[in-house]
Amino acid sequence: MTAIQPTLWSRDNSVRLTVEDAVSVITNSRRRHIITLIEDRDEKMNVGELAEAIAAIEANKEIPEVSSEERKNVYIALTQLHLETLEESGAVTYHERSKHVDRGDTTSGLAQLIRHFESVCETETGNE
């Protein structure tokens, strides 16, 4: 098993969550996608953009090839379940009225954990 190198972590990337809470947040593949997509952007995203990007990842398609049904299914899951969970953990800031999602206090640290796990573990894309 590969150990996380302490030198990879700085105070700025610490995750101010318990281990149990951090693991719970990143257990779901859609939440992992949201965190890494938000971390990779310099600006907030709207929920529709997130839903399209995640539907494309799950279906192994380009964004223009995603059907409205695929996008809608992801959109509903994001707005009814995942974004609230991520906001409670500080992983994102979700503006429900405008349907915009931005980085939260723990976005960078969680994204770094996700990328570490992806680099040392087998990955599988699935609908959740």
Tokens coding 4: 């996380």
Distance (Å, rounded) from C-alpha 75 to C-alpha 112? 25
pLDDT exceeds 50 at position 4: no
pLDDT digits (tens, 9 = 90+) for 37-89: 999 998 899 999 999 999 999 999 999 999 999 999 999 999 999 999 999 99
Tokens coding 30: 């859609």
Instruction: Please tell me whether residue 102 adopts helix, strand or coil conformation.
Output: strand
Q: Which residues contact 81 (CB under 8 A, 6 or more apart)?
A: none
Q: What is the pTM of this model?
A: 0.84
Domains and CATH numbers, the chain: 18-118 (1.10.10.10)
Q: Which residues contact 54 (CB under 8 A, 6 or more apart)?
A: 30, 33, 34, 37, 74, 78
Q: What is the pLDDT of residue 50?
A: 98
Q: What is the pLDDT of residue 3?
A: 45
Q: What is the pLDDT of residue 122?
A: 80
User: Counting every residue, how long is the chain?
Assistant: 128
